[in-house]
Amino acid sequence: TAESAAQSQADLLSVDADFLWHPWSPSRVSAETTVVVAGDGCEVQDVDGRRFLDAKSSGLNATLGYGCRPVIDAISAQLRQLMTYDMGEGSNVPAIRLAERIAGLTGPHLTRTFFCNSGSEALETGIRIARFYQAVLGFPERTVVVSLDNAYHGSTMAAAACSATSSPVADDVAPSGFVTVRRPGRAGAESIEGPEGIEDLREFLSANGTRTAAVLVEPVQGRGGYVMPDACLREIREMCDQQGILLILDEVMTGFGRTGRMFAYEHAGVQPDILATSKGLSAGYMSLAAVTTTTRVFDVFDRNKDKAGFVHGHTHSGHAAACAAGLAVIDFIETQGVLSNVRARGEQLLDALEPVRSMPGVRDLRGRGLLVAVELDRARRAARVKDHMRGSGILVRRTGRSIVLAPPLIITASQTDRIAQALVAAASAAASEAP
């Protein structure tokens, strides 16, 4: 069979090309695709035995690297005891404990957690909660959800409607009631230096505030490696408060340590009404996402149980083994000095990358914690930098014309140096090539 014959990377990729439909693209895999068979710390190994330093943490979710013993042990112990139990008509201990634990990190206002399985589902849930909340309060006309251009919130229907898309057919299937406004920052610039551009949101809300349910924002926009200045978040919070609009923060990528704080909103000193988290919550060990709302939002539903009718949930909401993973991940972050490592390694990475700033073809270098972007002048040049990095045994992510570094939060100082040195060399090689 194909299964038994597929031994080498090339064999496996040919079976892959015949049978798999990969996320994000229906196109077939390229010969450069890495079929990973094992992982250990910050490194992965492909089927042919080559090792790579994973400077993108899989899909930014392997935040504690590979083979993290305490997390694996917690999951296997839970699986042996009880894999899960239906949360619709019952409850289970890891889900109870994890909801309590999250409230300890997000409180005192954000106290109530709904579990689901992916970042997209978390946003879908947050959006439904916001619309129901407004309707229950007597504002059924408040249905609009405003997001910023270049955002990425996921692939399910509502989450995708709030996301930038290059698909010409996406508009045909997009549900109504989703509006995108220009994100703050200079027009055309990938980075955000100041709060210019916030006027678009202000104008939209002053004309349409009474039909708006929520504003949805990523505190650090992932798709282009953008960084949002704290000032904008504070202004957006104020605008929402003035008009009875809920603020949903998408911390699917940033939550649980990526920026050097447990949540990126802490840098701005701004809390949302609804917080979506996923990747760093289970560190890639299980599928898990959380929607954490304020007591105020939950109480509106609770007081109006009869008319709220919020019929929403997933079979695997609060999956016991996934929640056991979440508890072990939080324990690990808190006891192993993970947040201070993120801050130290993030600074080290930015300092060591400083030489790229003045290279031809490089437009910007920016970052927060272990989320660092090198923006080039062209996507093609960025693709070449990525290829050079792979040649040096380091896997990085490219979004548009930026190379985004997001290594596991447990990365060591010497591994950080290795990434920086390889990227300086790769950017220098790409700078001398035609644009």
- Residue with tokens 């080290």, as numbered in its chain: 348
Q: In 282-386, which ranges are E strands? A: 289-294, 362-368, 371-376
Residues 94 and 323: beta-carbon distance below 8 Å: yes
For ligand PLP, give the closer residue by CB, 218 or 273.
218
For ligand PLP, give the closer residue by CB, 202 or 223.
223
For ligand PLP, give the closer residue by CB, 278 or 415.
278
For ligand PLP, give the closer residue by CB, 111 or 278.
278
Secondary structure class of 273 (helix, strand, coil): coil
For ligand PLP, give the closer residue by CB, 153 or 267.
153
For ligand PLP, give the closer residue by CB, 279 or 388.
279
Secondary structure class of 318 (helix, strand, coil): coil
- Residue with tokens 């995708």, as numbered in its chain: 160
Structure letter (DSSP) for residue 320: H
Residues 116 and 125: beta-carbon distance below 8 Å: yes
Query: Shortest Cβ distance from residue 124 to ligand PLP (Å)?
Result: 9
Secondary structure class of 217 (helix, strand, coil): strand
Query: Shortest Cβ distance from residue 59 to ligand PLP (Å)?
Result: 6
For ligand PLP, give the closer residue by CB, 252 or 411.
252
Angle among Cα 273, 276, 280 to the nearest 5 degrees reads 140
Query: Shortest Cβ distance from residue 287 to ligand PLP (Å)?
Result: 8
Query: Shortest Cβ distance from residue 184 to ligand PLP (Å)?
Result: 17
Query: Shortest Cβ distance from residue 382 to ligand PLP (Å)?
Result: 18
Query: Shortest Cβ distance from residue 150 to ligand PLP (Å)?
Result: 11
Query: Shortest Cβ distance from residue 31 to ligand PLP (Å)?
Result: 25
Residues in CB range of 119: below 8 A, 6 or more apart: 153, 154, 159, 250, 252, 253, 276, 278, 279, 289
226 φ/ψ angles, rounded to the nearest 5 degrees: -80, 155
Q: Which CA distances in Å does 208 have to 36, 142, 240, 272?
A: 49, 9, 12, 20
Which of 133, 184, 175, 183 is closest to 156 using CA atoms? 175
Q: Which CA distances in Å does 160 have to 176, 243, 416?
A: 12, 25, 34
- The closest residue (CB) to ligand PLP is 119
Query: Shortest Cβ distance from residue 387 to ligand PLP (Å)?
Result: 23
For ligand PLP, give the closer residue by CB, 218 or 375.
218
Q: Which two tokens stand for residue 263?
A: 């949540």
Q: Which two tokens stand for residue 96?
A: 């109870």
Q: Which two tokens stand for residue 253?
A: 């990528």
Query: Shortest Cβ distance from residue 380 to ligand PLP (Å)?
Result: 23
* Spacing of C-alpha 345 from chain mean position: 20
For ligand PLP, give the closer residue by CB, 211 or 223.
223
Rounded to whole angstroms, how far apart are CA atoms 253 and 346? Answer: 16
Residues 330 and 290: beta-carbon distance below 8 Å: no
Rounded to whole angstroms, how far apart are CA atoms 243 and 38? Answer: 51
Query: Shortest Cβ distance from residue 413 to ligand PLP (Å)?
Result: 27
- Residue 3, classified by CB atoms within 10 Å of its CB into exposed (0-12), middle (13-18) or buried (19+), is exposed
For ligand PLP, give the closer residue by CB, 34 or 282.
282
Q: Which two tokens stand for residue 351?
A: 């300092």
For ligand PLP, give the closer residue by CB, 158 or 422.
158
Query: Shortest Cβ distance from residue 366 to ligand PLP (Å)?
Result: 17
Positions in the binding site for ligand PLP (CB under 6 A): 118-120, 123, 152-155, 218, 222, 250, 252-253, 278
